[in-house]
Structure 1
């Protein structure tokens, strides 16, 4: 059975326009700060399937990283004040594989996407028969 794509998203620039520090840094660097942030976000894509979370990054060279959903231990949502105004959020993912903690930045509808990720990771663990041990 083929993987089913749930969503695919690039980091948004909406928070950039509403955050004064971004404008100050852009002015000081004569636009280079904006250009770097824009190119980085333009060339970073997050995709969620029913089996994996896939992260593609890179401007000149490509780097693809993925986390099997059954390996995800925890997800967290954070939203700065400006992000809340424009409907964006950051999702942090902690997993049991060698991939370090991953942060997907400036995602639209981040709360819904985090909930989808959580639901799918729980389903993947159940499907694979993976049990989580809690040490106290």
Structure 2
């Protein structure tokens, strides 16, 4: 299950996720959860064992795990919420994202779900996973696009952070450094003595 929330207001989208705290200007763009068919392996194992009551916890655990897992993208970061009895919320800002890949097993390829892996700059491998997410290729592309936008925005912010006065002062500093270098080079140069040259020839 996936939901495009880019057209909704930040307050409306965020109200659906009581675990989420957004920064100023941050808006929810997309949310999803594990594919409903991702619990098929648990059903295959658990249903035959349900006759002996052993399989019931397997099936119930897989269902609750899916229902309590949420993947979410905002215009600034990635979020993953999980946990049945407890709550674990993981966040990665798009500016830190370095690599996004996805994979699909045999069942995932058949039913249309897979795992998206997100790695960060300076990290030690995969930092976040969207497991069993529907249409993992589309999710990977969406994360890539949003990551590029975030990095582009960060570069624009840094380029405009200096005021015109600061830019002019930097230029003056560079010009003074060039002038000192030229003057020092002129003092170090050895003057040519025409008479001395003539005398040497005579």
Provide the TM-score with structure 2 as the length reference: 0.57
Q: Distance in 2 between matches of 1:25 and 1:97?
A: 41
Distance in 1, Cα, partners of 2:137 & 2:143: 10
Question: How many residues end up aligned between the 2 structures?
Answer: 128
Distance 1:92 1:125 in 2: 19
Residue 70 of structure 1, CA deviation: 0.8
Task: Return the structure number with greater helix share.
Answer: 2
**SS of residue matched to 1:101:** strand
Q: Deviations 1:36-70 (Å, cap 9, x if unpaired)?
A: 11111110111001101011112222221110011
- Which structure dedicates a bigger proportion of its chain to strand? 1
Q: 1:24 aligns with which of 45, 49, 54?
A: 45
Aligned to 1:77: 102
Structure 1: 5+ residue runs without aligned partners?
Answer: 131-136
Shift of 1:129: 2.2
* Structure-1 separation of matches of 2:151 and 2:68: 31
CA RMSD, aligned part only?
Answer: 2.3
How many Å apart are 1:77 and its aligned residue? Answer: 0.6
Equivalent residue for 1:120, pick from 146, 151, 172? 146
Q: Does 1:3 align with 2:26?
A: yes
After TM superposition, give the deviation of residue 96 of structure 1 in Å.
2.9
Q: TM-score, normalised by structure 1?
A: 0.82
> What's the secondary structure of 2:85's corresponding residue?
coil
Q: How many Å separate the matches in 1 of 2:34 and 2:44?
A: 18
- Mapped to 1, the partners of 2:77 and 2:84 lie a distance apart of 23
User: Distance in 1 between the 2:155 and 2:47 partners?
Assistant: 50
1:38: which partner in 2? 63
Q: Distance in 1 between matches of 2:91 and 2:70?
A: 12
Over 6 Å off, 4+ runs: none
Distance 1:97 1:55 in 2: 20
Contiguous gaps of at least 5 residues in structure 2: 1-23, 157-202
Larger Rg: 2
